[in-house]
Structure 1
Amino acid sequence: MNRRSFVRRRPFSTLLLILLIALLSWIWQERVALWAFPDIISGYTAKEYCSCRYVMNNPAEYCQSYVKQWLPTSGFTDDTARKRVTVSGMGRSNNAQWIGERRGCLLNP
C-alpha cells in the first residue's frame, strides 16, 4: 500500500487551498474597510468635484475630467443654483455642498 501525503500528491491544490485560506483571513480582518469602500467612491467624487467647481471656480467640463476614476459612477447631479453635487456609485449616494468662501465644500452624510 503506497501512502503518500496529500501535499505530495496534489501540490498545486494544496497551494491554492493555502492561498484561499489566506485571502479569506485577510478579507475577514479588513471587512470594515471593505464595507466602507463603496461610500468612498461616491463621497470622494462629490467632494472633489464640488471643490473643483465652486471653490476653485473651474469649468464643469474640466472638473468632470478631474474627478474621473477607473470605477465609474452611476449617477451625477450638479445643482448649480444650490451649489450642491450628488454622486451615486456602487449602490451608494453622497452629496457635497458649497458652504462659503472660508469653509469651502462639505460632504453631507
Structure 2
Amino acid sequence: MKRAKRVLKIIGIVLGVILGLVGIFIAWNWKALSAFPLLPSGYEAKELCSCLFVEGRPQPDCEAFIRQSVVPIDSRSFDMEGKAVTVTALWNTRRAHFVSERFGCVIDGAGK
C-alpha cells in the first residue's frame, strides 16, 4: 500500500512538471500560436486568387491544385468580376483580391 502511494505521488509530480512546462511553452509562444487560425484561410484565399487571376487557370483546376486535407475549409466564394476570393476556415474569413499583373494578389487586412 505504501509503495502504491509513493508511485502515485511520483506520477503526480511528473504530470505536474509536464503540465507546467507545457504552460510555460504556451505562454512563451502565445503570439505565434494565437495567429495560427488565420493561416489556412489566408493561404488558400491568396493561392486561389493567384491561380485564377494571375495565372489565368480555370476554377476547377485551381481548386484541385490548392486542395489540402490538414485543415477543413468551411467555404469558398469567388467574385470573378471584382477579381477576389473569400475563404472561411477555422472560424476565420480572409479575402484576397487581384491588384495587377506585377503585384498579383494581396490579402485584405494583412498585417492587422
Contact 1:96 1:107 in 2 (8 A): yes
Q: What is the match of residue 62 of structure 2?
A: 63
Identity of aligned residues (%): 31
CA distance, structure 2, for counterparts of residue 99 and residue 79 of structure 1: 14
Q: What is the match of residue 76 of structure 1?
A: 76
Q: Does 1:85 align with 2:85?
A: yes
Q: How does 1:1-109 map to 2 (within 5 A)?
A: 10-69=9-68, 70-109=70-109
Q: Normalized against structure 2, the TM-score is what? A: 0.82
Deviations 1:79-101 (A, max 9, x none): 11111000111111110011111
Deviation at 1:9, TM superposition (A): 5.1
CA distance, structure 2, for counterparts of residue 32 and residue 58 of structure 1: 36
Name the Cα RMSD after superposition. Answer: 2.0
Task: Structure 1: state its 5+ residue gaps.
Answer: none
Task: Structure 2: state its 5+ residue gaps.
Answer: none
Deviations 1:33-78 (A, max 9, x none): 1111111111111001111111111221221122223101212101
Q: Normalized against structure 1, the TM-score is what? A: 0.84
Q: Residue 21 and residue 103 in structure 1: after superposition, are their counterparts in 2 closer, same or farther (change >3 A)?
A: same
Q: Which deviates more, 6-15 or 84-93?
A: 6-15
